[in-house]
Structure 1
């Protein structure tokens, strides 16, 4: 393909945008409670193990897939995977692998953002509510949150604000949209994080009944290994966190990398992205939420999932000096982190529409906006219609696309590069790189340990979730609750409907681009 593609305006803009893609709500909201409830310091052992064995190798693979795909005019994952897979199998088999990858990537980018955008909306709403002091005098911040997500005006208003921000950013393109947002928001995120850390560590002991509950004790709680809590479930949680936090197994790193020039350095850029993400997650994310929660609530109050940010912390901000300002700063930090990640998924879908239709970027951005309204409606409507805060549609969609599909897609990418593209993968990664990936690393990890480790983790994840009843027609966690069962079924129908649609669209896209070699079932031009 000879389609001319946009390029990044500067190396700094590229790295900040890639880091912004990785640095999201998972760093400040998801990581703290995962670490706290899965053994603290013990959790960090499988966490860093997964980073080395899976995260870094897959990061390099996705950058190389994207840069190579962009050279042939592709910005979405399906055709990129096809190009490498056909080097090891016949084109008619490669198109099936590429179609599966494209279908999963569509499901992840469309459906993760279907609820992720709502969480961004909540953080925007809570920023305003913090400044106005709306929850400062309530008896229960848990009930306040339940009332918030059941309030159509607040939910739809801030959700649409988040979506509109993403739409106009995507309309601006790579340099004037995505890159500009990253250059503004990413430094701001780190500045806000440092301010919050300083305030956190100077809290002292706010709980007179428990003078040992201090922010420093909270840090000790995070980093002291509780080996008795280290089990297979904690290991899987650590692996899932690495995938979620680095935004791997989604196709969006490949999309951003498709705007690179053919000889741009992807090794240094990829490792810099990982470093900036881990700085935000382990240092900033782990030093803000958990120490604050521990200082006020002790060890039992720090593993509260969504409730940590929207229920536990607001109840603590009520008790802090200048709590409304600290709360506003916290939720604004979450908003900015969410936007820099969500725009990557938004841009992926814009690229998908532009590649398969005659739509220009502005029209494609509007179409994606409409698509997110459609798939995001159930997330908004469930608590409003059921009058509960159980969020079962959200939970079911996240179980599939926020965990299971990430592993399958990442595993597909690493197997295609390591086992089908084989020895051609290493020079593709190293092209234009100042630091060269050594041959032993490529053979040991990308062709050996990483795909095998991912297969093992995926199998064990399926076994573990099957024991918990996730794959029953009516999952165990909603059995007996007739009001919630339809929302779980609806979540499954949407998830697999989107995957099927994505496979069909990707198959047609690859067929249109490579019809001649698919008809002959022979590769015409080798990479």
Structure 2
């Protein structure tokens, strides 16, 4: 009954316009908020130090130029030209590849269910940051064990920190207080009610950020996309002023060129480009679809890619200067305190902050930055899902009030699906979905997307579409990338990821049961099956010979948008000639 009420529509309601961004700034901030997220802060710096320091920038830049920027521009053109979501845009440009849009929606929905849990954890940490003493800074708490050792109280004696049976208070706060982690995915246990309340609060924030479409999204990004930079700048300045910061920065950047011979380094660089620039799932396409058709998306693409790369690089200084300080205070090697992902955000960095003067201030700055970096990525993903559904059913869904009800229903369904992941064993399931949903599935979509646009639609046609929209001739090297280099690089990266596949483990020790790996691979392969299944379905339902069907399904819809070239030609003809043409 609740869902029926949410979807009870007035049949005679007036259709609303799809809309555009209120200004160019809103679009750029929304795109920046989407592509600049937690991966810039907690993944890139760790990958950089792990894979050769400054030498890691070589494969990173190679993949950026051959895969990242060309795909980013392709998806921008696709959305801006069709003015549609990430499913209906394929209907108008290459119907055979429409399954790419459906596959992207699967990944985005899983992302909406998993990604926001990180924000709930961050919000809980933020709430604890206002307590009189940071709870992860001391062992004098109910949840601490006898193995807990407070490094701030060691008075120059580092002997006990080298024992394998000791744990830091930050680790115990994370594992025993926040997660109350169980022994495995089979032992779900009870719901963590504090995390659930934080999760509910984040959903409410995200709902009201996008409930009116680009009108509200465009206003929300003024805060969510800019404020994290102020926090990052404050943390960077503070980190560089700490003792041991220089050692941390040198550890982060010191080049080790021998690592370039390791194929795994190149694999991780390519994967970082894919995830950091939000490629494959359709978010760039949808955000660009709200642009004016004549917008210079070529220039926007180059600036946004530059901004993303620079943010990742600078974030490394903020992170490793603080980790260098923590290593200096504890008298241990920096490698012993360097972490990635949740280990950095909820163990290593909070532990380092607890050792600083004014720890509460820096804890608040860090977790506010963490929450805002994640929130704008989250509500952009929600916007993409909702926009895509509305564009699939415009006559039904563009009536007054229907968007808000659809969004509310989506938030409620996602929230109830997430409850299993905020149980005592939920973190195992969270990691499983995160690892497999964003693994081979996205790589498959990128391969299909680059082949579809570079060959079926055609690099020459994409090149002309760009000129028709903007009047700008982009560098001809992009045509070579779209046709040859980007599909080849994407395909090689996919093959290598399958050849060097490593089963997921938790904390390097816990091995998942077989059914969990089956679930993970089913999720990972579902986008691929949607792409291939949809192509076979369309080939089987369109009349004509197989060759005729293939030709028809690879042709753009001839009646949806007048090209800029035609408009320019008409403007050059006199008014009298235009009248004769019309008659």
Assess same fold via TM > 0.5: yes
Q: Indicate yes or no: 2:382 matched with 1:343.
A: no
Q: For 1:507 and 1:352, locate their aligned partners in 2 and report how far apart those are by CA, in whole Å.
A: 22
**Partners of 1:518 and 1:185 in 2: CA distance:** 52
Distance across 2 between alignment mates of 1:60 and 1:103: 21
2:461 counterpart of 1:421: no
Distance 1:115 1:8 in 2: 28
Determine if contact 2:76/2:297 at 8 Å carries over to the other structure. Answer: yes
Partner of 2:291: 260
Asked if 1:69 corresponds to 2:69, the answer is no
Correspondence for 2:173 among 144, 160, 175: 144
- The Cα of 1:276 is off from its aligned counterpart by 2.2
Aligned to 1:240: 271
Cα separation, 1, equivalents of 2:324 and 2:19: 47
CA distance in 1, matches of 2:531, 2:32: 27
Determine the C-alpha separation between the residues in 2 that align with 1:500 and 1:371. Answer: 24
Q: Are residue 203 (structure 1) and residue 204 (structure 2) matched?
A: no
Indicate which of 360, 365, 369 corresponds to 1:329: 365
**Equivalences for 1:170-185 in 2 at 5 Å?**
170-175=210-215, 177-185=216-224
Is 1:365 matched up with 2:407? Answer: yes
Query: Within 5 A, what are the aligned runs for 1:101-500?
Result: 101-132=100-131, 133-138=134-139, 139=148, 140-147=169-176, 148-150=178-180, 152-175=192-215, 177-204=216-243, 214-230=244-260, 231-283=262-314, 285-297=315-327, 298-357=334-393, 358-359=396-397, 360-381=402-423, 384-385=424-425, 391-422=427-458, 423-433=460-470, 436-439=473-476, 441-465=477-501, 468=502, 470=503, 486-492=515-521
- Give the distance between the partners of 1:270 and 1:263, measured in 2 at CA: 14
Residue 375 of structure 1: how far off its partner (Å): 3.8
Give the deviation of 1:407 after TM superposition.
1.8
1:89 equivalent in structure 2: none
Task: After superposing the two structures, state which structure 1 stretch, 490-499 or 305-314, moved more.
Answer: 490-499
What residue is the counterpart of 2:67 in the other structure?
54
After TM superposition, the score normalised by the length of structure 2 is 0.76
Q: SS state of the match for residue 203, structure 1?
A: coil
> 2:111 matched to 1:81?
no
Is structure 2 residue 525 aligned with structure 1 residue 526?
A: no
Quick one: distance in 1 between partners of 2:536 and 2:365? Answer: 45
Deviations along 1:359-385, one digit per CA (max 9) or x if unpaired, are 42101211220232244333223xx14
Q: Which moved more, 1:307-316 or 1:128-137?
A: 128-137
SS at match of 1:303: coil
Alignment partner, residue 30 of structure 1: 43
Distance 1:36 1:234 in 2: 11
Label 1:126 to 1:446 Cα distance change in 2 as closer, same or farther (>3 A). same
Counterpart Cα distance in 1 of 2:192 and 2:245:
37
Query: How far did 1:354 drift?
Result: 1.9
C-alpha deviation, 1:169, in angstroms? 1.4
* Structure 1 unaligned regions, length at least 5: 87-93, 205-213
The Cα of 1:443 is off from its aligned counterpart by 2.6
Query: Aligned partners of 1:492, 1:170: CA distance in 2, in Å?
Result: 32
The runs of 5 or more residues in structure 2 that have no matched partner are 1-14, 140-147, 149-168, 181-190, 328-333, 560-583
CA offset digits 1:279-303 (Å, max 9, x no partner): 32111x1111122112212233213
Structure 1 contact 479–485 (Cα < 8 Å) conserved: no
1:459 shift after superposition: 0.7
- The corresponding residue for 1:209 is none
Deviations 1:320-353 (A, max 9, x none): 1011210110111011011111111101111233
Q: Which is worse superposed, 115-124 or 143-152?
A: 143-152
**What is the TM-score of this pair, normalised by structure 1?**
0.84
1:84–1:416 contact (8 Å) kept in structure 2? no
Q: For residue 229 of structure 1, report the CA deviation from its aligned partner.
A: 3.4
Task: Kindly indicate which of the two structures has a greater share of residues assigned to helix.
Answer: 1
Deviations 1:218-275 (A, max 9, x none): 2222221123334111211111111111111110110111111221111111122212
Contact 1:107 1:499 in 2 (8 A): no
Q: Return the alpha-carbon distance in structure 1 between the equivalents of residues 233 and 296 of structure 2.
A: 30
1:5 match: secondary structure: coil
Instruction: Provide the C-alpha distance between the structure 2 equivalents of 1:169 and 1:476, rounded to a whole number of angstroms.
Output: 36
CA contact (8 A) 1:106 1:502 kept: no
Q: 1:435 to 1:324 in 2, by over 3 A?
A: farther
Give the Cα–Cα distance (whole angstroms) in 1 for the partners of residues 511 and 70 of structure 2: 45
CA distance in 2, matches of 1:503, 1:302: 42
Counterpart Cα distance in 2 of 1:476 and 1:194: 35
Aligned partner of residue 410 in structure 2, secondary structure: helix
Q: Which has the larger radius of gyration?
A: 2
Q: Is residue 10 of structure 2 the alignment partner of residue 15 of structure 1?
A: no
Alpha-carbon contact 2:441-2:526 (below 8 Å) kept: no
Work out the CA distance in 1 between the residues paired with 2:414 and 2:532: 19
